[in-house]
Structure 1
């Protein structure tokens, strides 16, 4: 079962991410980043045996987040010897052994725990599952995080990820928090285009927080 689900996820990545999609809302492939990551063999996919835990057991979330942190440490170590290619290190964890609705909850809870740790470290944490309702950046009818089975993923933060923090954070306060993390990660490293977009996004987030909460940032 583990190998079958890993193979399914690997096939999905190859068939989906590096290709155009009619609902994408822009020209090009779904994820330009993954084109090079896949081509260079930098995508690591591991299984997680959720059936070792009872339904709803919180230690399952602890275990999968510990595995994700281990993958992050491994990637950070590898990145010191890879030069510019370190940008393309991807890790994905595929839980198995429980019903998919439970695995989705497991991935969602793990993602919620990891995101505030990973982004300041310069990594994105991603949650994927069937019928994911998060909309695309360029078309609200597109669902970019829909996958055949629940998956927890991670990859290095890139400048273009600014758009995710602008559009996908659920509250102005959360948007401002992650924009500040992004600013810290890329301090002194952004070109004029991204620097201006970041400055505009921060200013808008600060205004929105003040309007929503009635206090200065």
Structure 2
């Protein structure tokens, strides 16, 4: 595959490196690319007083920005339905392994975004994320939705809206150990998570897992193969 042009076969979507020089200074850069970069650098890559924990809002993004491992496809227009969004996500799922960097360890920091700058209704974005999440999780990937006014609660402060973004988008990246809270809602997600990370789960995540299992003891039976 020609790495200069990586194009989806279903939707024609063509992601570009968001922090490449030609996209940051070139005259052909997408109109909203600068706005997206600014949100990442000034919000995701900095601490926030309402976050509920020390550190950056999204440490993953800070590393990806520093290494220029972020890719984005901008899909203009308001006439974008669920079928079109699904085709775009399917394409980005297939293209993700071919986007540089392909080899470890850099590949773990790579992410690709489908950005819909003109959409003002976000129900289809939420619907596609729900429909597709399991397929991504079972491959060690995460699919997340962001858009203006997104009400998904923060992990450490339920009043903090971490997914509230200036532009509606869907993001694909590698799963990381701190994703446990996003995966604890379904048994199969948790099983894939444990298969990947059980030996290296951070202590604060292990504590959170213990607390949740104590609060919902039925989960123990669900995870015990002898009791299924």
Q: Under TM normalisation by the shorter chain, which class is it?
A: 0.7 to 0.9
Q: Aligned ranges for residues 186-205 of structure 1 at < 5 Å?
A: 186=197, 189-190=199-200, 193=203, 196-197=206-207, 200=210, 203-204=213-214
| 1:133 aligned residue | 151
1:88 aligns with 2:109: yes
Q: Aligned ranges for residues 175-214 of structure 1 at < 5 Å?
A: 176-186=187-197, 189-190=199-200, 193=203, 196-197=206-207, 200=210, 203-204=213-214, 207=218
TM-aligned CA distance change 1:2 to 1:112, over 3 Å: farther
Kept in 2: contact 1:179–1:202 (CA 8 A) = no
TM-aligned CA distance change 1:27 to 1:197, over 3 Å: closer
Q: Aligned with 2:31: secondary structure?
A: helix
- TM (norm. structure 1) is 0.76
Distance 2:212 2:189 in 1: 10
2:75 maps to which of 23, 37, 48: 48
1:100 aligns with 2:120: yes
Q: Aligned with 1:4: secondary structure?
A: coil
RMSD (Å) for aligned C-alpha atoms: 3.1
TM-aligned CA distance change 1:192 to 1:13, over 3 Å: closer
Q: Aligned ranges for residues 71-82 of structure 1 at < 5 Å?
A: 71-75=95-99, 78-79=101-102, 81=103
Gapped regions of structure 2 (runs ≥ 5): 1-27
| 1:5 aligned residue | 32
Q: Aligned with 1:178: secondary structure?
A: helix
Structure 1 residue 16 displacement after superposition: 0.7
- TM (norm. structure 2) is 0.73
1:21 aligns with 2:48: yes
Structure 1 residue 17 displacement after superposition: 0.7
2:93 maps to which of 64, 69, 78: 69
Structure 1 residue 147 displacement after superposition: 0.2
TM-aligned CA distance change 1:199 to 1:132, over 3 Å: closer
